[in-house]
Amino acid sequence: MIISRVMTKNPVYVHPDASVTDVRSLMDKEKVSHIPVLDKNNTLVGIVTKLDLLKAGPSEATSLDMYEISYLLTKIKASEIMIKKVVTVNEDEVLEEAARIMADKGIGCLPVMRGSLLVGIITDTDLFHAFINAFGARHKGVRVIVNMGEHPGQIAKVAGAIAEKNGNIVSLVTAEGDDVAHRRATIKVEGLSRSEMETIIKNLPDMVLEDIRE
């Protein structure tokens, strides 16, 4: 799946001179946890996260009252707390690459670019939604996990057997098995019963049914 199909398009943003108070208000209003920072030429120069806002505030041990704290926060600018070395992706990148980058870098979002233009943002929440869609979690049906030999044509055998029984595959995701000789497939099927799916898998060679549920 391409990032442009999953990302939040035209994300809200702030300028470097926006106050921490304004950034926090915008986050609360838009219900977001990350806000890109663009300069007057609409060039991406940073990003502010909720964690950055927490770090910008006074410690719990402060003797300042709420009015003094609010005043001080209006004097702190986004440019002072933003992350300046921003990791980005292009809009035509694949989703799994964005997920890999976010996992490897330990970050919760990636601004999405078209050249030097910010066109979107992809967050861990967007990845969760994509994960739900990939596994067909919102569809009714029978979900099976099959451990199969790592041979050409294995997926075709399963799909063909399901089609012969007039079953409809709504999702199919594969992952590495317990060793290099095997692969694990998670399949969501509509139109067949649990017992029918059990029979299909048990009759296929070099395949083991690990889990099945409706």
Per-residue pLDDT of the chain (214 residues; tens, 9 = 90+): 899 999 999 999 999 999 988 998 999 999 999 999 999 999 999 999 988 888 775 544 344 445 555 656 667 899 999 999 999 999 999 999 999 999 999 999 999 999 999 999 999 999 999 989 888 888 999 999 999 999 899 999 999 999 999 999 999 999 999 999 999 999 999 999 999 999 999 999 999 999 999 8
* First vs last C-alpha separation in the chain: 26
Q: Which residues sit opposite 145 in a β-bridge?
A: 186, 211
All domains of the chain in start order, with CATH: 3-131 (3.10.580.10), 137-213 (3.30.70.260)
4-27 CB burial, b ≥16 within 10 A, e <16: bebbbeebebbeeebebbbbbebb
Residue 14, strand partner residues? 37
Q: Which of 35, 24, 13 is nearest to 73 (CA)?
A: 24
Long-range Cβ pairs for the range 29-35 (8 Å, 24+) = 32/123, 33/108, 33/109, 33/123, 34/108, 34/109, 34/121, 34/123, 35/11
22-47 tens-digit pLDDT = 998 999 999 999 999 999 999 999 99
CA-based nearest residue to 37, from 89, 101, 84, 88: 84
Q: In this predicted structure, what is the pLDDT of residue 68?
A: 52
- pTM, 2 dp: 0.77
Nearest Cα to Cα of residue 6 among 135, 170, 174, 134 = 134
Give the tens place of pLDDT for each residue, 41-68.
Answer: 999 999 999 888 887 755 443 444 455 5
CA 147 from centroid of its chain's CA atoms: 26
